[in-house]
Amino acid sequence: MKKRVPISLLETGVPGLDTILGGGLPEFSFNLLAGSPGAGKTTLAHQIMFSMASPRRRAVYFTVLGEPPMKMLRYQQQFAFFDVDKIGKTVRFVNLASELLKGDLSKVLKTILQEVEATSPGLVFVDSFRSIMLATKGHPRGESELQHFVQELGVHLSSWEATTFLIGEYDPQDQSNPIFTVADGLIWLSQDTYQGSMVRTLEVKKMRGVATLPGQHTLRITAEGIRTFPRAILEARPTRKAKSNLALKRISMGVPRLDEMLGGGLPKGYSVLVAGPSGSGKTIMATEFLAEGVRRGESGVIAAFEKSPGLGLSTALDRMVRTGRVAIVSTRALDLSIDATLHELTEKVRLMKAKRVVIDSLSGFELALAPTYREDFRDSMYRMISVLTTLGVSVLATSELEDRYIDLRFSPYGTAFLTDAIILERYVQLENELRRCVTVVKVRNSDHSKQLREYRIVKGRMVIGEPLAGYEGLLIGQVAPGQPGPALAHGASKSR
């Protein structure tokens, strides 16, 4: 059996990035941190440097034109990761502008290599590398000189056991750029504005020696520094047979008679969509769902997007949150990404060992998302619900339905097929009164009731009454006395 050379993976100190990198950054790799202006390249470089630098792995940061070093130091020290104590001890800054101004790349290379040979840093940063590339433009031997420069730099720094980062703006379309070939790693940062909302992402386009997480991952810059949110990747869901077995275990919804309508409760680990028009009581059902879990000693997590800023939670929900039985995912309106929210949800689920999760509502969630993410909302919801249910939690998501009475819809996003069960709430006009009715539309692999039952909201709780027998067309707003038929049983009937 061949013995492979072990590649040490370095922790980057950037939350989420090691997961995206498949465990960390390969030691002695030659990396490119690229992206548009303002995307966070220099900040990412500094965060990695201050986190990784130690007496055993010292860092040298070469500044080459681009952002003036004074400004860079002024602004970077605003971040929590900037550790003044490390400067001069494990972190060195070296300005190369004068070498470059002389227009001689060999002089720049010589200066970098002299510095590296003299100080043996474990980490080398060159910011911005684009300045070096621009300096060669128009030069008769510019292209070949740049190629030689990059190759020499790559070979020397790896041989001197340095992990290297070249920071700069590059054109991703420029496939012929010699840097792309020489680099072991290519981390791309983007900053896109869409419909007035700005979204930052990070993508590892290439990283030799590790299996990275593909795709664009949400990136946030706060006073703490950069935080990335690895894009949720779906794991294999339980097979149909396994699901059937799961279905044997049921949990109570906390609303009398609703369990009976579901065929004995919601199968554990299922996702259920509660769809209904505004004010029909979806949040009340969601609260009862969490409260029932709390009564049985199960913790819960709620992502509450329904409330307007400043509008408090219901008393029952507030009590559960204050007593620490239910965690609430804080929402930052209008610029959320699905992955950032899912990350917070799954973190809280793990922390609380939660068994029940509520998303209230999908409609509010969609509004809170940055417009960029709204376009693939359905795909994202699929990933979100799948990731949550593979964690073994039961998920209740509410969905606002338009007050349309001429047709029958379950969700405005076509998300109905994503969930294992659907409960529909509806307003009906009966005997000159606006009344509410509820029905179970589907419970995957399970028997359930098909009755329409009237319900009332009494003191903030849902009270389900008798079946609305003797009417037809209730759900499409064309109510007519029903044909006398076999009496409807109150219990469950076979759906398949």
Partner 1 sequence: MRSRLAPIIGEDGFRILFARSLHRARAEHPWLAREAVSPDNAFSSLTQSFASRPPEQAALGIRALVAHFDDLLHALIGKELAARLLLNPNGPPQRTNQEIDP
Contacts with partner 1, residue ranges (CB under 8 A): 55-56, 63, 68-70, 73-74, 77, 84, 87-90, 92-95, 97-98, 118-120, 161
Q: How far is the CB of 29 from partner 1 (least distance, A)?
A: 18
Q: How far is the CB of 90 from partner 1 (least distance, A)?
A: 8
CA 215-220-221 angle, to 5 degrees, is 140
Residue 309's identity, in one-letter code, is P
Task: Quote the radius of gyration of the chain (alpha carbons, Å).
Answer: 29
Identify whether the C-beta of residue 189 lies closer than 8 Å to the C-beta of residue 39: yes
Residue 461's identity, in one-letter code, is R
Q: Which is nearer to partner 1, 74 or 378 (CB)?
A: 74
Q: Which is nearer to partner 1, 90 or 446 (CB)?
A: 90
| Among the listed residues 91, 118, 448, the one whose alpha carbon sits nearest the alpha carbon of residue 265 | 448
Q: How far is the CB of 114 from partner 1 (least distance, A)?
A: 12
Identify whether the C-beta of residue 284 lies closer than 8 Å to the C-beta of residue 302: no
DSSP letter for 311, please.
P
Q: How far is the CB of 196 from partner 1 (least distance, A)?
A: 33
Q: Which is nearer to partner 1, 119 or 315 (CB)?
A: 119
Q: How far is the CB of 101 from partner 1 (least distance, A)?
A: 9
Q: How far is the CB of 84 from partner 1 (least distance, A)?
A: 5
Q: How far is the CB of 113 from partner 1 (least distance, A)?
A: 14
Q: Which is nearer to partner 1, 49 or 317 (CB)?
A: 49
Identify whether the C-beta of residue 208 lies closer than 8 Å to the C-beta of residue 187: no
Residue 241's identity, in one-letter code, is K
Q: What percent of the chain is helix, strand and coil (3-state, nearest 5)?
A: 30, 30, 40
CA 304-309-313 angle, to 5 degrees, is 50
The CA–CA distances, whole Å, from 139 to 66, 103, 290 equal 19, 9, 69
Spatial distance between the Cα atoms of 378 and 376, rounded to a whole number of angstroms: 6
